[in-house]
Structure 1
Amino acid sequence: MKAMHAIKLAGTALLILGSINAYAQASDAAPAAPAAPASTTAGARQHYKSLKAANRALQRQVRSALVKDRGIAMSNVTIRARDGAVTLQGSVPLQAQSDRATEVAKGVPGVVSVKNALSVRPVGT
């Protein structure tokens, strides 16, 4: 009985070692990607930072426009912007406020599209 258990254990160990070896060979066979020059990496990083700054600026512009409207309760509203696409998230007390928020956001320069993910929750619930 002990001999059968030892044979099964040895067979399992050989299978594991064989699969590890095959996996290592497959990944070694793939050609290594050439390293990007430092200037390209720095340029990409700078581009990413400028896009992020532009998205934050658009978020602030949309928030400012919604706050100026005065007909929209902004305490539970979050605004996200990415490449001109604006998403409104959170909750407002009335459906009319949700609809108005979409219209106001569409009127902000730089906004390409508006996704309204606002839910209607009456005050106190």
Structure 2
Amino acid sequence: MNAIRTLKLAGAALIVVASVNAWAQESESSATSTATQGTSKSAVRKANRTLGKKVLQALSKGGVDTAGINVLAKGGAVTLAGRVADPSQIEKAGSIANGVSGVTSVKNALTIREGGQ
């Protein structure tokens, strides 16, 4: 009976040690947050807004109707969302956004606006 109790206690201790060790390991997301730790959240938000505005201006200058387009930027990754009137503007918007300095990737989620919408 004592041998079973001792084995249970040793097994529980082993599980606790293993879980504490796994919890203490650094993940990729915490490594990136450590790299940006010197930058305040408001500065990061401001940089994201500035990049979004630059992309929107480039789209407008490039001949894309930006009335129904939202540009979301996060750390250089840009998402284009909304609707455009012409199917050719979807590809054009993606290539223009990809050419803006500071943009590392573009997710193009634009759709074609149906008539009357």
TM-score normalised by the shorter chain: which range applies? 0.5 to 0.7
Shift in Å at residue 45 of structure 1? 9.5
Q: Are residue 99 (structure 1) and residue 91 (structure 2) matched?
A: yes
| Equivalent in 109, 112, 116 of residue 120 of structure 1 | 112
Counterparts of 1:112 and 1:95, CA distance in 2: 24
Deviations 1:50-109 (A, max 9, x none): 100100110010001001012x12110000000000000000012110000000000000
Tell which structure's C-alpha radius of gyration is larger.
Answer: 1
Shift in Å at residue 46 of structure 1? 6.1
Q: Which runs of 4+ in 1 moved over 4 A?
A: none
Question: Mind listing any 5+ residue stretches in structure 1 that lack a counterpart?
Answer: 1-43
Name the residue aligned to 1:30.
Answer: none
Return the TM-score normalized by structure 2: 0.64
| Equivalent in 57, 62, 72 of residue 55 of structure 2 | 62
Counterparts of 2:59 and 2:95, CA distance in 1: 10
Counterparts of 1:46 and 1:106, CA distance in 2: 25
SS in 2 for 1:87: strand
Return the TM-score normalized by structure 1: 0.60
Counterparts of 1:77 and 1:54, CA distance in 2: 20
Q: Quickly say closer, same or farther: Cα 1:46–1:107, change in 2 above 3 A.
A: closer
CA RMSD of aligned residues (A): 1.6
Counterparts of 1:113 and 1:97, CA distance in 2: 18
- Amino acid corresponding to residue 57 of structure 2 in structure 1: S
Preserved contact between residue 80 and residue 86 of structure 1 (Cα < 8 Å):
yes
Counterparts of 2:38 and 2:81, CA distance in 1: 29
Counterparts of 2:77 and 2:115, CA distance in 1: 29
Aligned length in residues: 81
